[in-house]
Structure 1
Amino acid sequence: MDNYQGCTDSALLALIAEGDELAFAEVYRRYKGVLFLHARRILGNDEEGKDVLQELFTTLWTRRTSIDLKTNLCAYLYASVRNRVFDIIAHRKVEARYIASLAAFIEQGEYVTDQQVQEKELRELIEQEIALLPPKMREVFELSRKEELSYKEIADQLHISDKTVKKQVNNALHILREKLDTVFTSMACFLFF
């Protein structure tokens, strides 16, 4: 088919199941905006909204031959976004409990050797991951987080724009969040389950 815009969602889904990339692109074009706004509105974060959308469409493509819709495509996509958003919110709650628990230990001075070792290992892991960032990104990130310089101060020092500094810091945080996500989850599970 040449005109994918005239296709129904079910026709597009059938074409996607056959590996038709143009049909997939049409579904993406139709739904990316509203799904992103839906995810961002609930999460309150553009980057997490983009991540949800990317994961959703990646899954749609990789599972295209095995998707068995019980409803229409639009409802399926919205439900998928909702489920991914709920996963993120649940993960945030686990992280918040972990951070609150760690803060309580610090305030009460109830460190035990195991916790000190875990905290040291976590700090070392974070430092290792920071060291693996691309050199310019690492420099900007360290000036922001370790030296506690403002974006403007970093921009002036490195002769780059504030926007570039902000983008580098956001990219670094995104990379670190992805790499440390499994560590936080396993530590939180250890503490709470």
Structure 2
Amino acid sequence: MAIYSEFSDAELMLLLSGSDGLAFAEIYQRYTGALFIHAYRILGDEEEAKDVIQELFAVLWIKRNTIVLRTSLSSYLYSSVKNRILDLIAHKKVEDRYVRSLGRFIDEGEYVTDQQVREKELSELIEREVALLPPRMREVFELSRRDNLSYKEIAEELNISDKTVKKQVNSALSILRQKLDIAFLCAFFLRFL
């Protein structure tokens, strides 16, 4: 009966490629402790280190027929552990960024989105109410608020007095205020129905 602990790494890999379970067990026994310590030193987390080592040996068994060593078995195993740790760290960074991004969206996104929707609705409501103003009053109001013209500039453009412009703007604001107050009250009460 063969004593697997006496075989070299190269002999064990040859036997492993032929699906020899005892060769796999010997490789596992020979390297698992040192690889675990190596992984644990880098990761600082016992469970993550165990997972890395378990995954490494699972892949070693699955790919046993296709693995071609260009260096020693120990170099291959240590490189594999290092690569798995780097993948794990990269995955954790991506995951952390995603979680932070999701957290920001939850914290700020809903508020921003809700606020933007409300601002858009309010803007549309104001536009509808301005469109319902009498034509001359709407024209004066739009020149005042949208075009930022002074009362004097509006009076000159429309060939009316400054007092008429002031009265038209004040009337428009009064009408809009009343209609918007009613709309806000309705919206407020509809939320509680």
Aligned to 1:68, the other structure's residue is in SS state coil
In the aligned structure 1, how far is the partner of 2:105 from the partner of 2:59? 40
- Give, as a single letter, the amino acid of the residue that structure 1 aligns with 2:13: L
Aligned counterparts of 1:19 and 1:50: Cα–Cα separation in 2: 24
Structure 1: which amino acid aligns with 2:82?
R
Which residue does the alignment assign to 1:18? 18
> Equivalents in 1 of 2:106, 2:10: separation in Å?
56
1:110 aligns with 2:109: yes
Gaps in structure 2 of 5+ consecutive residues:
115-193
In the TM superposition, residue 18 of structure 1 has moved relative to its aligned partner by 0.8
Residue identity opposite 1:56 in structure 2 = L
Shift, 1:43, TM fit = 1.2
Once the two structures are superposed, what CA deviation does each residue of 1:15-62 show, in whole Å capped at 9, x if it has no partner?
Answer: 011111111111000100010111111111111111111111111111
Unaligned stretches of 5+ in structure 1? 114-193
Runs of 4+, deviation exceeding 6 Å: none
- Give secondary structure in 2 for the equivalent of 1:85: helix
TM-score normalised over the length of structure 2: 0.55
Provide the residue aligned with 2:6 in structure 1.
6
Structure 1 distance, partners of 2:44, 2:92, is 13
Write the deviation string for residues 82-104 of structure 1: whole angstroms up to 9, x where unpaired: 11101110011011111222233
2:80 maps to 1:80: yes
Q: State the secondary structure of the residue aligned to 1:64.
A: coil
What is the CA distance between 1:106 and its match in structure 2?
3.8
Within-5 A mapping of 1:1-193: 2-107=2-107, 109-111=108-110, 112=113
One-letter amino acid of the structure 2 residue matched with residue 110 of structure 1 = G
Higher RCO structure (Cα 8 Å, ≥6 apart): 1
What is the distance in 2 between the residues matched to 1:14 and 1:28? 15
Give the Cα–Cα distance (whole angstroms) in 2 for the partners of residues 67 and 102 of structure 1. 40
CA distance in structure 1 between the partners assigned to 2:65 and 2:104 by the alignment: 49
Amino acid at match of 1:84: R
Length-normalised TM-score, structure 1: 0.55
For residues 22 and 37 of structure 1, the distance between their equivalents in structure 2, rounded to whole angstroms, comes to 24
CA RMSD of aligned residues (A): 1.5
Distance across 2 between alignment mates of 1:100 and 1:64 = 40
When the two structures are aligned, how many residues end up with a matched partner?
112
Task: Kindly provide the amino acid, as one letter, of the partner of residue 36 in structure 1.
Answer: F
Quote the Cα distance in structure 1 between the aligned partners of 2:38 and 2:48.
12
Higher Rg: 2
